[in-house]
Amino acid sequence: FYSTASELENALNGVYHSLTVDGTFGRNLVIELANETDELFYKRTTLTVNPMLFNYDASNTVIAASWRALFDGVNRANYLLANIDKPVMDEKARKVIKGEALFLRSFLYFQLVSYWGDVPLMLTPTVDGNNVNVPRTPSAQIYAQILKDLTEAKDLVNPITAYTNNGKVSKTAVQAMLARVCLKMAGYPLKNTSKYVEARAWADSVITSGLHSLNPDYKQIFINHSADKYDLKECIWEIEFFGNNTGSVLLGARFSNQLAIRNTNADAGYGYAILGATPTLFNLYKQGDTRRDWNIATYGFVSNNSTDTVAKTDIYSRDAGKWRRQYETVRPLDVNWSSTNLPVLRYADVLLMFAEADNEIEGRPS
């Protein structure tokens, strides 16, 4: 394998695929491991042991699945990078593949270090099961490698103008991720405040590129994700999902169904509504902020198996509404899977990162 340009592309697709499984962004890193805050609460009674309930240990299957999936992605990237020079091919295409692989490895390690702190740093492929006791590497070294990979990737990948979708890593995606990583390094636990300057500079490089802008219709951003429409101005990088997991191509996501408005009706779209907003989150929105009533739906269904809706006003009875199943284009709607894409980097994120870094540097709002 890795002997032709096509095989390198296939290997790269395999690295991207590691972001779509249940252990990563198909479910766990969007739901179970992303919502241990005072802004959300678990609305069901099915689970009793789960990170969302603050009741788990290292043997928890969610934790194990995410650890395994993230390192599987790292290993796929390592295999690709170890064989990147093997085939005879166009050198520009080779550089692009290498850049994307470096970005993806750094992104996977960013998840690992964010959740677990010191983790094993492995930059070569795992070729057998003999070397299983790899020591943990200090977080500072992990972050240094992340920055090294991202900085190299920046000059290798294509600009977003080379694509008609934002599922591929582009130069502004790398710059935006550099801003995010530097901002994280400036805060807990490293508290390397010198990184605020770098975070601002990287965010500014995206802003001054002129390639991105805000979508004036907030709700349309998320309708696009469900309807398989691309907005390359607002959304810089998305994790792509496809279909409803029927047939031979199994690339659907579970996060959108889990966060959908509660319903068991096939036509309206099955929704588990496992998370709800707390008053803490609800009250963060100022009066008149239209984002609130899109993110926290103002309606539910008359019954759990209905297409008819009813208004909801009580905070605790309202469900998450960011991604709504009626906008999905893949039919029939599946109980567990959808093709809704997950935004990782939006232009709005870049503006907020710039503002935060600038505020820390200047000591005042910009």
From first to last of the 366 residues of the chain, give the pLDDT tens digit.
999 999 999 999 999 999 999 999 999 999 999 888 889 999 988 888 888 888 888 889 999 999 999 999 999 999 999 999 999 999 999 999 999 999 999 999 999 999 999 999 999 999 888 888 899 999 999 999 999 999 999 999 999 999 999 999 999 999 999 999 999 999 999 999 999 999 999 999 999 999 999 999 999 999 999 999 999 999 999 999 998 888 888 889 999 999 999 999 988 899 999 999 999 999 999 999 999 999 999 999 998 888 899 999 999 999 999 999 999 999 899 999 999 999 999 999 999 999 999 999 999 987
pLDDT of residue 250: 84
3-state secondary structure (DSSP) of residue 52: helix
Tokens of 160: 């977003």
Q: Are 321 and 223 in contact (CB under 8 A)?
A: no
Residue 67's nearest CA partner among 28, 37, 105, 35 is 28
Set out the domains of the chain in order of their start, with CATH numbers.
1-38+54-132 (1.25.40.390)
**Residue 159: is the preceding peptide bond cis (ω within 30°)?**
no
- DSSP string spanning 25-60? TTTTTTTTTT--SSSEEE--SS-SSBGGGTB--TT-
Residue 44, pLDDT score: 85
